[in-house]
A and B are shown apart, each in its own frame.
Chain A
Amino acid sequence: QQQVKQSPQSLIVQKGGISIINCAYENTAFDYFPWYQQFPGKGPALLIAIRPDVSEKKEGRFTISFNKSAKQFSLHIMDSQPGDSATYFCAASDRGFKTIFGAGTRLFVKA
């Protein structure tokens, strides 16, 4: 019940295309859903986050879509660029002190 399932494991997108990464959770106590970007040799960096009272949040080229009834959320990267090539993690946390991460998606954007 504590898991966050993330797919796909890896993704190859053409420059200018849309990258879509999906996550699903089971614990209905989760109420904060951040996405992190991680480059090799670096720690994860927060990209964008959403709470379940909102169905969509957009920041620049990054959009989170949230489906509370399906317990699913996704990250869309519009106009994907080679510099977006990184590993992306979805995560979920409740009002406690634990954040659960997905297994990660390795994104490669072809120039």
Chain B
Amino acid sequence: DAGVTQSPTHLIKTRGQHVTLRCSPISGHKSVSWYQQVLGQGPQFIFQYYEKEERGRGNFPDRFSARQFPNYSSELNVNALLLGDSALYLCASSRGGGGDTEAFFGQGTRLTVV
């Protein structure tokens, strides 16, 4: 079985631009979570989607948005990029929606804002 796949793997954007990151969960998994990991820090929770509905949101500005599609894949959108948005963006999928369900992470998308 394929693991969690994220695309693209690397991305360079200019301040003020918009970016869309994509995630395909493991087959059979209905929950997708997004995390931001700044170099040298732990992942910070951004969103969780379960059965195509937003179930949790972290402490991020409204410039960050996400959605989940009928096939359970997900997109993370970030508008008006700032230099501080440079980070590794991780997607995790899990079978169920609760926080106590084992989560499998993708390799991440490395976003650099210049």
Contact = CB atoms under 8 A, between A and B. Distances in A.
A42 interface: yes
Contacts of A96: 55-56, 98-99
Interface stretch (B66-74, B78-86, B100-108): B100-108
B45 A99 contact: yes
Contact of A43 (B42, B100, B106): B106
A46 interface: yes
A44 B3 CA distance: 13
Interface in A25-55: 31-32, 34, 36, 41-46, 49, 51
Interface in B38-56: 40-45, 48, 50, 55-56
A93 B43 contact: no
Interface residues of B, number: 28
B90 interface: yes
A95 B104 contact: no
Contacts, number: 68
Contacts of A34: 102-103
Interface in A60-108: 89, 91, 93-104
B43 A101 contact: yes
Interface in B84-114: 90, 92, 97-100, 102-108
Contacts of B97: 97
B52 to A, nearest CB: 14
Nearest to B97: A97
A96 B56 CA distance: 8
A103 B33 CA distance: 19
A43 to B, nearest CB: 3
B42 A102 contact: yes
B58 interface: yes
Interface of A: 6, 31-32, 34, 36, 41-46, 49, 51, 89, 91, 93-104
